[in-house]
Structure 1
Amino acid sequence: MATHKILVIDDSRVIRMRVRDMLPQGNFEVLEAKDGVEGLNAIREQRPNLIMLDFLLPRMSGWEVFQEVQAQPDLQRIPLVLMSGRKEEVTEKITEPFEYFEFIQKPFEQKELIEAIKSAMTKARKPRPTAAAAPSAASAGSSQDVQVLQAKVAKLEAEVAQLKGQLAKILAFIKQKLR
């Protein structure tokens, strides 16, 4: 009898089968759901040990399932791997860094899947701020967000400077050839 349950919620039968095939043989049962409503019901009824959740789903999106799971303390402890072929759609709704779940971009290889599962298991154990600690956590998060944005701005400024240098070299080369 399997002691661990892994729930794969994806509208693509191919992806569900691929995930099942990529998982190492072991002492677990792979459950499947083809849409968000079916997936959320399976989460509530089956209490899986891991959730593999596609972001774009029919009937109820992966985003809506994610919000339901995160809103319930007993469910938010379940390790979660969010899957999508387009990371930008995920980051529109959920800003990085992904603190309590792992993201994996489709298509993925077995090694990437195993690493994502391990990371999700670690992240799910992280303590979450309580309701009383939320205001200080929010301000700490915003200062951390500012630092992340400042780092991104600095990186972009360096890239722009590099591109300006390359452009200057190209212009000099063209001027030389025109003489």
Structure 2
Amino acid sequence: MANHKILVIDDSRVIRARVRDMLPNGNFEVIEATDGIEGIDAIRNQKPNLIMLDFLLPRKSGYEVYQEIQAVPEFQSIPLVMMSGRREELTEKISEPFEFFEFIEKPFEQKELIGAIKGAMAKARRARPQTLTPTAASDEDTSTEFAVLQTQVEAIAQEVAALKAQNNEILAFIKEKLA
């Protein structure tokens, strides 16, 4: 039985076979998914050690799969390589530099594939910023926080009124000079 599972999510049978053929000899099990829905199911059920994800997929796009991966902390630690024939398709949705995955442009050679896999593994090991989880606040904490916010809003309202008055003075001055 294979020690490492590599999930290849691509609607092209040729690309899936190419990735399989380019992987170095080793103890790998290559799992294939032909669309985004199959891909998400395979991530949940197979727990892969690496995901190769095409950006343009039927039924659920690679971008939607990527968003689901980012939303689940357990999936975030899986190395991810995004694949596309056109980098600009990807950069329209996700700005560079790509922090959480490696990108490889199709068609690619074995050396590029291996480099992308190594890069994805390094990125997956990086610590991610912690997301804040809301905590239950007591009524006293809430009322204190509300009072502070109300004071801040009142101060902002006074500042806006002062700026409006200043703006009116400037407009009057300009009108006077132009007349």
TM-score (norm 2): 0.73
1:28-49 deviations in whole A, cap 9, x for unaligned? 1000000000001000000000
Q: CA offsets, 1:107-139, max 9 Å, x none?
A: 000000000000000000110001249xxxxxx
Q: Which runs of 4+ in 1 moved over 6 A?
A: none
SS of the equivalent of 1:29 reads strand
What is residue 123 of structure 2 aligned with on the other side? 123
For 2:79, the aligned partner's letter is: P
Match in the other structure for 2:35: 35
Aligned length, in residue pairs: 133
Matched, 1:73 2:73: yes
When the two chains are superposed, the root-mean-square deviation of aligned CA atoms in Å is 1.0
| Partner of residue 93, structure 2 | 93
AA aligned opposite 1:8? V
1:1-179 to 2 correspondences below 5 Å: 1-132=1-132
Counterpart secondary structure, 1:95: coil
Deviation of the 1:16 alpha carbon: 0.2
**Letter paired with 2:95:** T
The structure with the largest alpha-carbon Rg is 2
SS in 2 for 1:93: coil
Q: What is the rounded CA distance, in whole Å, between the counterparts of 2:73 and 2:114 in structure 1?
A: 25
- AA paired with 2:122? T
Alignment match, 2:139:
none
Where does structure 2 lack aligned partners over 5 or more consecutive residues? Answer: 134-179
Show structure 1 runs of 5+ residues with no match.
134-179
Secondary structure at 1:25 match in 2: coil
Identity of aligned residues (%): 75
Counterparts of 2:118 and 2:131, CA distance in 1: 28
Alignment TM-score, normalising by the size of structure 1:
0.73
